[in-house]
Amino acid sequence: MEAELTALAASGATAFVGLMATEAWNQVRGRVARFLARGEDGEDSEAVDAELEKSRAALLAARRSGDEDGAADVTAEWRIRLRRALRDNPEAARELRELLDELAPHQPAAPTVTVNNSTNGGTYYSPVIQGHDISGLTFNGGGAVSSRPEPGAG
């Protein structure tokens, strides 16, 4: 159960911080603040709203300066806070799931990346691989090593 709450807190923090950097933030900020203020010791949604705006300013400043660690710190702070809220109030998990479902249409779309690779020219007597983060591959050849001379050798 703890792992599920940790994952839910991470999803919530990622969604909230992701929205902070979008135009949709103004539309969803109040709803997020009300959720976060619920059950807090003496905090009201205005105080939480002020904290959210402070986090948003820090996030935007970090992104403008290319400080990915600073941006990640904002997410980590809200992840910790959400995890505590979920641990302290079991009903909060259901409410957070509902809120994330409501916010889903406002989430920025994941970027689509298209990669086109081509290999041309030359003669290749073994596999040619282009990629990113390739590890743990084993190639077993069944044939003999070719004794063909290299082009231009001779």
> pLDDT for 96-111, tens place per residue?
999 888 888 766 555 5
CA distance 94 to 128: 50
As to burial, measured by CB atoms within 10 angstroms (0-12 exposed, 13-18 middle, 19+ buried), residue 121 is: exposed
Q: Is the pLDDT of residue 84 over 90?
A: no
Is residue 34 scored above 70 in pLDDT?
Answer: yes
How many residues are given for the chain? 154
User: Would you state the pLDDT for residue 114?
Assistant: 64
d(CA 68, CA 62): 7
**pLDDT digit string, tens, across residues 56-77:** 999 999 999 999 899 899 999 9
23: CB partners within 8 A, 6+ apart? none
Tell me if the pTM is above 0.75: no
Over residues 114-135, the mean pLDDT reads 69
How many angstroms separate the Cα of 51 from the Cα of each of 45, 67, 117, 138?
Answer: 10, 20, 46, 51
Q: How many whole angstroms separate alpha carbon 31 and alpha carbon 40?
A: 15
Res. 54 pLDDT band, cuts 50 70 90: very high
| Model confidence pLDDT, tens digit, residues 131-148 | 666 666 666 665 555 556
Angle at CA of residue 61, ends 56 and 63, nearest 5°:
95
**DSSP3 helix / strand / coil % (the chain, rounded to 5):** 60, 0, 40
Report CA torsion sign: 44, 45, 48, 54: negative
Between 19-23, 26-30, 58-62, 104-108, the lowest mean confidence (pLDDT) is in 104-108
Question: 3-class SS at 38?
Answer: coil
**One-letter amino acid of 78:** W
Q: Is 2 left (phi over 0), alpha (psi -120 to 50) or beta?
A: alpha
Average pLDDT over residues 23-40: 82
